[in-house]
Structure 1
Amino acid sequence: MPTPAPTGPLVTRDTLSTQLRALGVETGETLLVHSSLSSLGWVCGGAVAVVQALLDVLGPHGTLAVPAQSGDLSDPAHWTSPPVPREWWERIRANLPEYDPAITPSVGMGVIPETVRTWPGALRSAHPHTSFAALGRHAARLTDGHAHDCRLGERSPLARLEELSARVLMLGTGYATCTAFHLAEYRIPGPRVPVGRPAPGGGWEVLSEVSISSERFDELGHDFERDRPVTRGPAGAARARLFPLAAAVAYAEHWLPTHRPRADEFQHPPV
């Protein structure tokens, strides 16, 4: 079968940076980016061109942050995509490599975050499941001090992003990917759950973490966009959204308790 011709639009580093400026991304700001490369169209230079465009707009004093999660370093008892046989669980626990910020790949985040993670000068936080990678002025401040028992709460990069008045840029992704909403989960009374992962230095450990889930985040995002200012515009073939991270967290704090079942019904994030 012949290879099908690419479909447009043709997106370049320059056209994307122009669109990002038109959307309102500002030089020198701190930006948390969720992205889908395939949604943008035919990007000349792929993920590298997208990262270059983001850095062009943010400039030398800006900061680019992305989720760099590695949920595969988790308890196989809770794997669903796909599940593995129960008789494998103990051997998997015994043989999973420990988390290494320098070499552990991100999983399920997309090629753009993985490109940021491996970019020269990028820094990455220490949590083995929910790390963030960052480039730029505030990269060290964002990634330092990510507590091993705090996936996405007050001792994670999300809280540092809030302190820095960061904004969220969503490039062709829906609100189901909006990690900012998870910070609200830590501010709502809820249970803690056991979370297993490879221990530093070898072996297996189980820590207590706040229960989190992205259940109904799409609905939450719809209502947030209806009720609060969200800037929308094109990014290649995709729709981009830009909004303050703090506003999203505050809205979620009020929305989640009345629209979603108790957090203890969602004890483990899907893998």
Structure 2
Amino acid sequence: MAEQPSAVGNDAARREELAHRLGSLGVRRGGVLMVHASLSGTGAAPELVRDALLAALGPEGTLIVPAFTPENSDTSRAYREAVAGMGVAEAATYRETMPPFDPDATGCPTMGALAECVWSTHGAVRSAHPQTSLAGLGPRARQLLRWHPRRSHLGRLSPMRRLYAADAQILLLRVGFEVCSAFHYAEYLTRPRPPRRTYRCVVGDKGNWVEYRDLTLDDSDFGEIGSRLPRRMLAEAEWASRAVVLCAMRDVVGHAKGQMSGYRRALA
């Protein structure tokens, strides 16, 4: 009777196959790669995908994921959805008991299984922003994520600027450009600047609400912006029955900035 392949063996083969596919797509060994991913329906554990990404990058490469926590706010869509249907007293209690952001302990459930896996991996680095932190693994992660002031979600003072300077690549693994957070960096580069707004979140201790101002970020047209990108900017493949897209951050941010500076201004 033939011996059945073990689950461990299957995982190793699948990890190797994905790493090879990513390398063939153009993921640079030794580079910086920011990944947005949906693993739903793949049957692949997030650890397998994380390890495949690290294998494609090689020991000198650095993997970055968004580890956003919009739940830690009373000015976010996530908060409004959470309190929808609550009475005044119940909503007040909910707000009072919201836990503060802790980069070493606060999960990022809306970012997906891969992001949760990466930030919680031993040795991972995570930036300190209470709403738009980034997390990373690799030799450049600490340098890229070292400083992230509240007043710059994803702007010139944030790690996003350092990813741009590092000529990072962006990988959309079974997701579309509507979740491409690098387009937010393009918002900071547009002229005239988008309007600013007030944000609030909990930091340090429960009940310690802080308030700050930053750009009014708007991702409602990101999918449309992505659809207008020249195809020459994109390397495309398929994995687990859905599209995989690789691109250079500088290229797509520059093109997104041009689009925003045009039609967004016309609509203002």
Please point out which of 118, 121, 126 is paired with 2:120.
118
Q: Percent identity?
A: 32
Structure 1: stretches of 5+ with no match in the other structure: 1-9, 265-271
Match of 1:221 in 2: 226
Structure with the larger RCO, 1 or 2 (CA within 8 Å, 6+ apart): 1
Match of 2:143 in 1: 141
Instruction: Name 1:239's counterpart in structure 2.
Output: 243
Distance across 2 between alignment mates of 1:83 and 1:66: 28
Give the aligned residue type for 2:100: E
For residues 33 and 179 of structure 2, the distance between their equivalents in structure 1, rounded to whole angstroms, comes to 15
**TM-aligned CA deviation for residue 200 of structure 1:** 2.7
Q: Secondary structure of 2:109's partner?
A: coil
* Separation in structure 2 between the aligned mates of residue 216 and residue 120 of structure 1, nearest angstrom: 36
What does residue range 39-78 of structure 1 map to in structure 2 within 5 Å?
41-43=42-44, 46-75=45-74, 78=77
* Whole-Å separation in 2 of the counterparts to 1:225 and 1:117: 33
Give SS of 2:128's match: coil
Q: What per-residue deviation string (whole Å, max 9, x for no partner) do you get for residues 89-136 of structure 1?
A: 433332211111000001311001110011111000000000000000
Q: What SS does structure 2 have at the residue aligned with 1:158?
A: helix
2:171 is matched with: 169
Aligned positions of 1:92-107 closer than 5 A: 92-107=94-109
Provide the rounded CA distance (Å) in 2 between the counterparts of 1:241 and 1:263: 29
Task: Look up the match of 1:258.
Answer: 262
Please say if 1:19 is aligned against 2:18: no
Worse-matched range after superposition: 125-134 or 186-195: 186-195
Listed one character per residue, the Cα deviations across residues 130-182 of structure 1 (whole Å, up to 9, x for unaligned) are 00000001100111111111111111111110011000011000111100100
- 1:204 equivalent to 2:209? Answer yes
Aligned-partner Cα distance in 1 for 2:15–2:259: 38
1:199 and 1:222 map into 2 onto residues whose CA distance is 37
Q: Which segment is superposed worse, 128-137 or 186-195?
A: 186-195
Residue in 2 aligned with 1:4? Answer: none
Distance in 2 of aligned mates of 1:263 and 1:124: 36
Aligned partners of 1:77 and 1:14: how far apart in 2? 39
Equivalent residue for 1:35?
Answer: 37
Q: CA RMSD in A?
A: 2.1
Contact 1:193–1:211 under 8 Å retained in 2: yes
State the AA in 2 paired with 1:152.
L
Q: 1:89 to 1:261 in 2, by over 3 A?
A: farther
The runs of 5 or more residues in structure 2 that have no matched partner are 1-10
* 1:128 corresponds to: 130
CA contact (8 A) 2:125 2:135 kept: yes
* Cα drift, residue 258 of structure 1: 2.6
Q: Of Structure 1 and Structure 2, which has the larger fraction of its residues in helix?
A: 2
Give structure 1 regions of 4+ aligned residues with deviation exceeding 4 angstroms: 261-264
CA distance in 2, matches of 1:69, 1:42: 24
Matched residue, 1:267: none
How many residues end up aligned between the 2 structures? 251
1:13/1:253 CA distance change after superposition, 3 Å: same
Q: TM-score, normalised by structure 2?
A: 0.87
